[in-house]
Each structure stands twice: as structure tokens, then as C-alpha cells.
């Protein structure tokens, strides 16, 4: 490859700086506004780049046991339980479909892919959830999206990429399907499992649409509460605060809730970053 010219290097550096600015500046404004005082927010028109008198009042209101605190625990529970069940079911189905001589494997794979190309509409999905008695239960936001077809294809491709000699050697040693999956396949698939697990975590953590349809307002996860708060533009009721003078400005509360809703995923991603590219590319090469 030819050595890039100085002008090309400068253009690349400027492009990277521009992208970083577009990402980091809004995030800095959000975090700074969440730590700003009421007076400073009003004086700056609702946005603060760097607070002169930082305060944790907005975060104290969030974690005082009101709506946001409950919604946060709901999101944590749904994300942990949903990711565990989804990852387990996706792994089992992907392993079964990756085996060349499994009974009915091809028709089942085509049926799964058909649901990916032609997903059900909102009304049929609602009628199905209602008919199964899952309305106003957290299973309504987990069961309908238990297996993601894209994640299934990624894992299936990764399992197919494992050398067939390993499967044959395990069979010769007397290992059954469960032993092969647990002792051979899963240890070699950490990268793909980490990627698929991250996809499920982000999906469940950011889910709000199904919650708005199937759950009542007292069961909402954090993202739905955040959406309602931002769209409504007013203080969430039932925060446990009786003194209106101590209530943070709406923009401050909005930004604080947004930070709480965003930071957990940002903290998880660095630990899985090294698996991300390897897992996606390896799973996508063979399908």
C-alpha cells in the first residue's frame, strides 16, 4: 500500500475530530445539565455546558424511591432475566440448526427466517399476548421477542465454523449432545456469545414500545418513563417531594434520567469490545 499523503492524514484527523465532537459535545451538555442548579439552568436557557455550582439534587430525587427508582429496578430485572432466557434459547436453537443431520432442521430454519422477513403486525401481536393472558405482566415484553433471528443466524454460523473433527472426537469419546454443547461448543464460542448477549442487553434495556402497549403505568421500565417525562415536559408525579421549591428544573431531571438510562450500557460495552468484531465477523461469514 502507498504511504498516505500529508493532506490525506490531515483530512482523516479532521474527520475523526469532527465525529468525536458530534458525539462527545452533546453528551457533555447532557451530563453537565444534569449536575446544574435550578438558577444556572434558567439563566442559560435550559442547557449548561459546564456547571459553576454542581449539585446532585436531580440524582437524589431520582433515587429517593419514586417512579424513576421503581422503573430503574424494573429495567434491570427485565434486562437480566430477558437476556438470560433469550441467550439460552437462542444458543440451544442455533446449536440444533447448525447440525447437518438434525431432523427437521431445514424446514425449521426456513420458518424462522420467514418470521424475520415477514414480522407480525402490532394488532396480531397484541391479540396473541392478550389471548395468552400475558397483559400487564413482564412476560409480555420478554416472550414475544425471546429469540432474535439475527442473533440466531450469527450463533448458528459461528457453531458451523467449529471444525467437524472436534464434534467427531467428542462423539468417539462417548459425549452426547449436551456434553458436546457444554464442553466443546460453548467454551469455543465466548466471542459470539458475548456479542449476542450484548445485543440482547441493549435491546431489553432500551425497550419501551412493548411496555407502553402491554403494561400499565405503574409497571413501566426506565426507558418508557424517560420517554413520557421528556415528551410531557413536566415533573413526574409521585417523586416523594412535597416542597415545590426543592424540585429540580425539568431539564435537569430529564438529563439526569437520560444519564441513568445511558451509562449502564456504556459501562458494559468496554468489557465486551474485544469480542465484538471477532464475534460478528466470524458468525456472519458462514451461514
Rounded to the nearest 5 percent, the helix, strand and coil shares of the chain are 75, 0, 25
The gap from C-alpha 258 to its chain's centroid, in whole angstroms, comes to 15
Give the H or E element holding residue 25: helix 6-34
Q: Write the CATH number for 252.
A: 1.10.3720.10
Half-sphere exposure of 122 (CA within 13 A, CB side): 6
Is 10 a member of any domain?
A: no
How many angstroms separate the Cα of 145 from the Cα of each of 87, 88, 205? Answer: 12, 13, 13
Is 207 a member of any domain?
A: yes
Is 6 a member of any domain?
A: no
Is 259 a member of any domain?
A: yes
Considering only CA atoms, which of 69, 91, 49 is closest in space to residue 192?
A: 91
Is 167 a member of any domain?
A: yes
CA distance 177 to 159: 13
Containing structural domain, residue 206: 57-285
Q: What is the CA radius of gyration of the chain?
A: 24
CB 116 within 8 A of CB 238: no
Is 186 a member of any domain?
A: yes
pLDDT band per the 50, 70, 90 thresholds, residue 276: low
* pLDDT digits 0-9 by tens, 148-198: 888 898 888 888 888 888 888 888 888 787 888 888 888 888 888 888 888
Is 175 a member of any domain?
A: yes
Is 70 a member of any domain?
A: yes
Half-sphere exposure of 32 (CA within 13 A, CB side): 16
* pLDDT digits 0-9 by tens, 46-88: 778 888 888 888 888 777 767 888 888 899 999 999 999 999 9
Lowest mean pLDDT among 56-70, 237-251, 257-271: 237-251
* Helices and strands (H and E) in the chain: how many: 14, 0
Is a pLDDT exceeding 70 seen at residue 209? yes
* pLDDT digits 0-9 by tens, 90-146: 999 999 888 887 777 788 888 888 887 887 778 888 888 888 888 888 988 898 888
Give the H or E element holding residue 73: helix 67-98
Number of domains, the chain:
1
CA distance 180 to 169: 10
Amino acid at each position: 500500500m502507498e504511504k498516505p499523503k500529508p493532506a490525506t492524514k490531515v483530512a482523516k484527523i479532521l474527520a475523526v475530530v469532527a465525529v468525536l465532537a458530534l458525539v462527545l459535545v452533546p453528551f457533555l451538555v447532557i451530563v453537565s445539565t444534569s449536575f446544574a442548579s435550578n438558577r444556572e439552568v434558567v439563566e442559560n436557557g435550559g442547557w449548561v455546558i459546564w456547571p459553576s455550582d454542581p449539585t446532585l439534587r436531580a440524582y437524589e430525587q431520582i433515587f429517593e424511591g419514586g417512579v424513576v427508582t421503581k422503573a430503574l429496578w424494573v429495567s434491570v430485572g427485565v434486562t437480566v432475566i430477558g437476556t438470560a432466557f433469550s441467550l439460552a434459547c437462542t444458543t440451544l436453537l442455533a446449536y440444533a440448526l447448525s447440525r447437518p443431520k438434525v431432523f427437521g432442521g431445514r424446514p425449521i430454519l426456513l420458518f424462522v427466517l420467514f418470521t424475520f422477513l415477514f414480522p407480525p403486525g402490532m394488532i396480531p401481536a397484541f391479540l396473541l399476548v392478550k389471548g395468552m393472558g400475558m397483559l400487564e405482566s413482564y412476560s409480555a415484553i420478554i416472550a414475544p421477542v425471546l429469540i432474535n433471528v439475527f442473533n440466531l443466524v450469527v450463533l448458528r454460523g459461528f457453531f458451523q465454523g467449529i471444525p467437524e473433527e472436534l464434534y467427531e472426537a467428542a462423539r468417539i469419546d462417548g459425549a452426547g449432545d449436551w456434553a458436546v454443547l457444554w464442553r466443546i461448543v460453548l467454551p469455543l464460542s465466548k466471542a459470539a456469545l458475548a456479542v449476542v448477549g450484548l445485543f440482547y442487553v441493549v435491546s431489553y434495556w432500551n425497550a419501551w414500545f412493548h411496555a407502553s402497549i402491554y403494561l400499565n403505568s405503574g409497571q413501566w421500565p426506565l426507558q418508557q418513563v424517560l420517554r413520557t417525562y421528556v415528551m410531557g415536559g413536566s415533573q413526574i408525579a409521585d417523586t416523594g417531594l412535597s416542597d415545590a421549591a426543592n424540585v429540580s428544573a425539568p431539564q435537569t431531571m430529564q438529563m439526569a434520567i437520560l444519564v441513568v438510562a445511558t451509562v449502564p450500557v456504556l459501562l458494559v460495552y468496554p468489557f465486551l469490545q474485544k469480542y465484538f468484531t471477532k464475534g460478528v465477523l466470524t458468525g456472519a461469514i458462514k451461514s
